[in-house]
Amino acid sequence: MTPSPPSTTNTHPARDDRQRTILPCNFRSAGRLSNDSTRHLRSVHETFARNLSHSLDLFLGSPIEVKVTVIDQVSSRELTTSLGPSYLIPFVLTPSQNRVLVRFESSLLFPLLDLLLGGTGEPDDQARELTDLDEELLRSVTELVGNQLERAWKSCQAALTVAPSIKPALIGQIFALEERVALIECEMTVATTTGAIGLVLPMAFANALIRASQTEATRRVARAVPGLRLRDRLLHCTMPTSTELAGLRISVGDLVGLRAGDVVNLHAPISTPVKLKTGAHELFEVTPVRHGRSKAAQLERACSHQGGEQR
């Protein structure tokens, strides 16, 4: 017997010949803030910056300007190495018990202290450590910052409790070294001095702020165009619609004895227009047609109304 030739059946799945797009992936940038997320964080904290400027102006009796400059996402390690001389105030978030940091650049501290003591906000050229009295005076400023943050973050129902200041080297006690945090940098001008004030947020809380801001933005749009919402709902309503020959009359004699399969003479010319009606209202004169396997009507012209209006 002659052996049969081996089978040539291809058992591999059919190859997808569609062109694929392959893009490089940078794992270091994975999970970073998107442009949309950054925009929402900026919107929240620009409101905070304006309110803080106004509050400090009233409290200190001197023009104070605060404006958002940078929003970024960094690791706690990168943050620690990039900080210059700073005054760090932790705040405890309730009810989550997470902590956020408020950072004042050291150059701002003594102009603020001078204003608190009734001065004009002049800087102190002699570098020195803050005393306990200095920190007690600055506490009124940090509490005011906390109040304005609560207002800006009210959509997350966050309450803030100020904690004692810490040294930059102790940031690791608040955030793990490789933990990513959101950094919001603001520029503050006090009298003739300009320095940085920064907010450091855990990413879980920053993401909660972003979601709340997106939800609020959606609500604002909905409140701004209530008519559009009503229109969109009405467009999804269903209305009874029919096509019919209007004004037909058939004698009782033509109706007596009708059976299935009989043809009824409607006594109307074939050119008589058919009416498209919605409810009791005639909208168009139409011609019956077929659309695929469905019955349809081709619109010819609008029906006239009482008063001569066109529908």
DSSP, residue by residue, 104-161: EEHHHHHHHHHHHTTS--PPPSS--PPPHHHHHHHHHHHHHHHHHHHHHTGGGT-EEE
**Sole residue written with tokens 């168009």:** 284
List the one residue out of 66, 68, 78 whose CA is nearest residue 32. 78
Query: How many other β-carbons are positioned within 10 Å of the β-carbon of residue 65?
Result: 16
Note the pTM of the prediction, 2 decimals: 0.61
* CATH code 3.40.1550.10 region(s) in the chain: 30-224
Report the distance separating Cα 156 and Cα 107, nearest Å.
32
CA distance linking residue 183 with residue 101, whole number of Å: 10
Quick one: pLDDT at residue 101?
93
Residue 271: per-residue pLDDT: 74
The per-residue pLDDT for 111 is 94
For the record, the structure tokens of 248 come out as 């037909």
CA–CA–CA angle 257, 268, 278 (5° rounding): 95
Going by C-alpha positions, the residue among 213, 138, 151, 142 that lies closest to residue 182 is: 213
Query: Dihedrals φ, ψ of 211, to 5°?
Result: -60, -45
Question: What is the pLDDT at residue 18?
Answer: 58
Q: Mind listing the pLDDT tens digit of every residue in the chain (311 residues)?
A: 555 555 555 555 555 555 676 656 554 544 567 888 889 899 999 999 999 999 999 999 999 999 999 999 988 888 888 888 889 999 998 888 889 999 999 999 999 999 999 999 888 777 778 899 999 999 999 999 999 999 999 888 889 999 999 988 888 888 887 889 999 999 999 988 999 999 999 998 999 999 888 887 777 666 655 666 677 777 778 888 888 877 777 888 777 878 888 888 777 777 778 888 887 788 888 888 888 888 888 888 888 754 444 44
Alpha-carbon distance 195 to 16, whole Å? 58
Residue 309: predicted pLDDT: 44
Q: Quote the distance between the C-alpha of residue 48 and its chain's center.
A: 18
Q: Domain 30-224, what fold?
A: Chemotaxis protein chec (3.40.1550)
**130 Cβ partners below 8 Å, 6+ apart?**
87, 109, 138
The DSSP output letter for 256 is: T
pLDDT at res. 221: 63
Sheet containing strand 159-162, edge to edge, reads: 64-75, 180-190, 193-202, 99-105, 86-94, 159-162
Element spanning 185, H or E:
strand 180-190
**What CA–CA distance (Å, rounded) separates 228 from 234?**
10
